[in-house]
Structure 1
């Protein structure tokens, strides 16, 4: 008689991201996930005990080369992936909590991450975002950013 498959490990993953928009362009990082490359907001998982604000600043620098200052909290949302798989191939039931900030660049130079979960960073014109292969978090962040100002919402077509 075959043994039943073990239940996936349950994982809660808090993460912090930044929406950086300058001169009609948004800063994005290309995530190298299991579905292939997809553009996302720069950011990612928090270290145990790390303040989300510090985590967002750290992640943006790791993925893009830029130092940012956070302006304000934009939104908090969650995602549930009951059939996720870890990098080691372990089945996961993952619940992600995503904290998204508005930010602006204060230093550094654009560069691509080496040896991480992203392989490119770029400023993308807002009117070209819709044509990218991207994760839904990009829309979530830009919608929250655009909802603060009706003129921004018009730019994003929402």
Structure 2
């Protein structure tokens, strides 16, 4: 079986009781996720999260900390019915907005960005990465791993 690896960086941006999320289209079905995405070859993950947040939300951000790492391995169906053994590794950074204006990504993997009240997150149609990122943000585990949760959902 073919093996694939995806390394990504994601942002937790919380201010005034709200979290910044991006809406990702999975098979035409929208789900909220953390702003972020895949590292380009030769790119530093710190730079990846800065680039991805700006692409998906319009905001320029600065990193205030590395919260942790989420990892998951799962079979993924590709074109022509082939299945690959996929391993996703995602670093989750805490960031704060330093400039820019909220806008939607055009032609990318997300179609909008929005601030959501933290207490409204459980009612959102979201990927598990949102819950894992919030767990890292709240708990700040010394291991850098969300407590009691399976890792990275592969977005």
Specify which of 97, 101, 106 is matched with residue 114 of structure 1. Answer: 106
| Matched residue, 2:121 | 129
The separation in 2 between residues aligned to 1:35 and 1:135, in whole angstroms, is: 14
Aligned 1:66-85 pairs, distance under 5 A: 66-85=59-78
Q: Aligned partners of 1:111 and 1:143: how far apart in 2?
A: 27
Quote how far apart the aligned CAs of 1:75 are: 0.7
* Partner residue, 2:89: 97
SS of 2:42's equivalent in the other structure is coil
* Cα-to-partner distance string for 1:37-80 (whole Å, 9 max, x where unaligned): 11000000000111000000000000000000000000101012
Match of 1:17 among 10, 14, 22: 10
Structure 1: runs of 5 or more not aligned: 1-6, 149-158
1:84·1:94 contact (CA, 8 Å) conserved in 2? Answer: no
Instruction: Give the number of aligned pairs.
Output: 141
Query: Larger Rg: 1 or 2?
Result: 1
Q: Which residue of 2 aligns with 1:62?
A: 55
Instruction: Give the Å deviation of 1:94.
Output: 1.4
Q: How large is the Cα RMSD of the aligned pairs?
A: 1.8
* 3-state DSSP of counterpart to 2:48: helix
For structure 2, the residue ranges without an aligned partner over 5 or more in a row are 141-155
User: Paired residue for 1:155?
Assistant: none
Give the whole-Å Cα distance in 1 for the aligned partners of 2:139 and 2:121: 17
